[in-house]
Structure 1
């Protein structure tokens, strides 16, 4: 499980780099929201069920937590009611999210 999480962290770092390089407007918004004394925090987790379930969990987190610069997935949740339970050390993710 720990090795899987390490791989997820590497993938997330790559995804963040891709996101920041996609469009300068996104990069400016990201830097504006996270600039100064702020820090960027991210979490990783093993999600059983493959890519479909990972996307569903991601959508639930975006829908419920409403990250500032996400432009999609904040106004609607196109899945059945989804419960995300988290545990471990994290700052901004509640222990239980119910989306839908």
Structure 2
């Protein structure tokens, strides 16, 4: 059995936008985003700041969390970042009906 952990994370970019991703090496991935090495969304919006990170037992679980969060509203992402689970739940219910 592996001790490898997988992470979903949210960064705040210099322009105030949020970027959500997943990785198995959070420190290396943050350095890549910070240096612009990865290209893409964050490379032109540096510096970036890690706002939220959660560990998952598998890459599939971390990727599923990333995909789910990417579909959320800004308000719901901010509730997650703040750890306000009541508001996350309320925003989820509001969207459903």
* Between structures 1 and 2, the one with greater strand share: 2
TM-score by length of 1: 0.41
- Relative contact order: is structure 1 or structure 2 higher (C-alpha 8 Å, sep ≥ 6)? 2
TM-score by length of 2: 0.41
